[in-house]
Amino acid sequence: MGISSKIKRYRFEDTRRLIRGTIFGNLILAIILILPNINNLWESTHVHMCLITAVGVFVVNRIYDWKSSRANLVILGLYLLLVFLEYMIAGLPSAPVQIDVNNHRISKGIMFDLVVIILPALYLAARIFLSISLLWIVKYSSDVEEEM
């Protein structure tokens, strides 16, 4: 086993550890969605999809060794399909604070208003961003697969 093979192997093992980030990231997103209203745990499709994704990736991470790039590509595709279906079924989550321009209230500032408006899109971006570790495992598993 040469130096290049060891580097590829270490990179693959490091990427396997990054998959925990996908699990914890989805759990954190679910918790953030539950915070404004505890009933979101039972009512929100977004919370359900975050929890389903976190549990699914956790189970796959426990029983699968991530060495087949084709199987990893299928797992990545299923993750992205769930994110797409969540968006098609439930849309973007509602903003945690509603901005009411009709009451002529005093604004908290343009930055606050912009952040509140952008938060739902940031949720979708975070869900897609959490798939990067799965994308990397597809890439690095093909390097490990070539050595076998």
pTM (predicted TM-score): 0.84
Q: Which of 17, 138, 18, 41 is nearest to 80 (CA)?
A: 138
Q: Which amino acid is at 69?
A: S
Residue 107 CB neighbours (<10 A): 9
Find out whether 33 and 94 touch, Cβ atoms under 8 Å: no
Q: Report CA torsion sign: 56, 136, 70, 73.
A: positive
Provide φ and ψ at 100, rounded to 5°: -110, 105
Angle at 53 between CA 118 and CA 16, to 5 degrees: 105
Structure tokens at 20: 């925990």
Cα-Cα-Cα-Cα torsion 123, 47, 41, 99, nearest 10 degrees, comes to 30
pLDDT in single tens digits along all 148 residues of the chain: 678 888 888 999 999 999 999 999 999 999 998 988 888 788 889 999 999 999 999 999 999 999 999 999 999 999 999 999 999 998 888 776 666 656 656 566 778 778 778 888 999 999 999 999 999 999 998 877 666 5
Q: What integer pLDDT is reported at residue 85 of this predicted model?
A: 95
Q: What integer pLDDT is reported at residue 3 of this predicted model?
A: 80
Cα separation values, 104 from 97, 98, 99, 100, 114, Å: 16, 14, 10, 8, 17
Q: What integer pLDDT is reported at residue 83 of this predicted model?
A: 95
| Residue whose tokens read 């597809």 | 138
Structure tokens at 4: 């290049």
Q: In the chain, where does DSSP find H-type helix?
A: 3-34, 40-43, 45-63, 69-90, 110-129, 132-147
